[in-house]
Amino acid sequence: MLGPVILAASRSDRMRRLISAAPVTKQVVDRFIPGETVDDILPIIKDLTGRGLELTMDVVGEDITTPEQAAAARDAYLTLIDRLSELGLGERVEMSVKLSMFGQALDGGHELALANVRPVVEAAAAIGTTVTLDAEDHTTLDSMFAIHEELRKDFPQTGCVIQAYLFRTEADARRLAAAGSRVRLVKGAYKEPAEVAYQQKQEIDKAYVRVLRTLMEGEGYPMIGSHDPRLISIAQELARRAGRKLDEYEFQMLYGIRSDEHLRLAAEGHRMRVYTAYGTDWYGYFMRRLAEKPANLRFFLRSMVSK
């Protein structure tokens, strides 16, 4: 019940100001967003890659309002890619990008987002890695898939995300699996209306398994974005039945969530990629993490009261 309320708060400027200014927020935020600058995050990248993990990096920020901010977001990714290249870490670390941060919601936003994301995809390819386009709310997805298709003409490794809670996703999965894409499947983190999305956990989980089967049986590279132990074992079983080798799919989890499981799967020989967010504009990302697990909210509120 709390999840939708927190997700609604994630869109509120008033709540953004209140929560961002709370004295203890930072220490709770750090669990999920372990740095604000490239210099903060590089030691974490080195540590995680040193433990046999791969990463996908999210420079947080999604509610931009000007083309200048969109260009700054692009430049932040380009700086990160430069620094990774200097350290020779390019191949282990890909980028996750929210097109809203690249200007998708502004006037002429589709073209603007494409123009901003292309140099990031080019720079990533130049150091031997790639970019995955995150999935945001359902109104943005036609544009995201069109940009994905456009980028794949020159950079076929470009990935995208699909969300099991949306009714449209089974059809999207069939199209993407046949086209041989890299596709991350997640349950979905936004507040979506009943006209477009399943609302019950059980229905979402069932849809996840149906879509996962399509991806595993298809010609693409499935990326299983979930912390759910049941879905992780089902994924292993579906991969086995589809005759996929360990390097023909991968698991992905968020930084700060079930970290022991990241290491366990990697030790079993799986490709395990940790989605690691950093930056100063962390509010939307942080609120979605609170919404996914009410215990996180209780911990956050307790830490404010006990201060």
CB 287 within 8 A of CB 9: yes
Site for ligand FAD in 13-42 (CB under 6 A): none
Q: Judged by CB under 6 A, does residue 254 bind ligand FAD?
A: yes
Q: What tokens does 29 get? A: 């935020």
From the candidates 74, 92, 134, 288, give the one annotated as an active-site residue.
134
Instruction: State how far the Cα of 72 lies from the Cα of 74, in Å rounded to an integer.
Output: 5
CB of 14 to ligand FAD, least distance (A): 23
Interface pick for ligand FAD out of 221, 275, 278, 300 (rule CB under 6 A): 275
CB 212 within 8 A of CB 230: no
Cross-strand pairs, 250: 223
Nearest-5° angle of CA 55, CA 57, CA 58?
150
Please confirm, yes or no, whether 184 is among the known catalytic residues: yes
User: What are the two backbone dihedrals, phi and then psi, of residue 188, each rounded to the nearest 5 degrees?
Assistant: 120, 135
Q: Judged by CB under 6 A, does residue 209 bind ligand FAD?
A: no
46: which residues sit within 8 A by CB, 6+ positions away?
Answer: 87, 89
Q: Judged by CB under 6 A, does residue 54 bind ligand FAD?
A: no
Please, is 183 exposed, middle or buried when counting C-beta atoms within 10 Å of its C-beta (0-12, 13-18, 19+)? buried
CB 2 within 8 A of CB 297: yes
Q: Judged by CB under 6 A, does residue 293 bind ligand FAD?
A: yes
Interface pick for ligand FAD out of 61, 225, 279, 284 (rule CB under 6 A): 225
CB of 283 to ligand FAD, least distance (A): 15
User: What are the two backbone dihedrals, phi and then psi, of residue 275, each rounded to the nearest 5 degrees?
Assistant: -80, 115
- Nearest alpha-carbon partner for 108 in 78, 70, 165: 70
Q: Judged by CB under 6 A, does residue 188 bind ligand FAD?
A: yes
Interface pick for ligand FAD out of 255, 272, 296, 300 (rule CB under 6 A): 296
CB of 52 to ligand FAD, least distance (A): 17
From the candidates 74, 92, 182, 184, give the one annotated as an active-site residue.
184
Instruction: State how far the Cα of 205 lies from the Cα of 164, in Å rounded to an integer.
Output: 8
CB 144 within 8 A of CB 99: yes
Q: Judged by CB under 6 A, does residue 48 bind ligand FAD?
A: no
CB of 198 to ligand FAD, least distance (A): 13
Interface pick for ligand FAD out of 207, 270, 289, 297 (rule CB under 6 A): 289
Q: Judged by CB under 6 A, does residue 189 bind ligand FAD?
A: yes
CB of 86 to ligand FAD, least distance (A): 26
Residues in the chain: 307
Please confirm, yes or no, whether 134 is among the known catalytic residues: yes
Closer to ligand FAD at the Cβ: 202 or 306? 202
CB of 59 to ligand FAD, least distance (A): 14
226: left (phi over 0), alpha (psi -120 to 50) or beta: beta
Residues of this chain that bind ligand FAD (CB under 6 A): 134-135, 161, 163, 184, 186-190, 225-228, 252-254, 257-258, 275, 289, 292-293, 296
Task: Please give the positions annotated as active site.
Answer: 134, 184
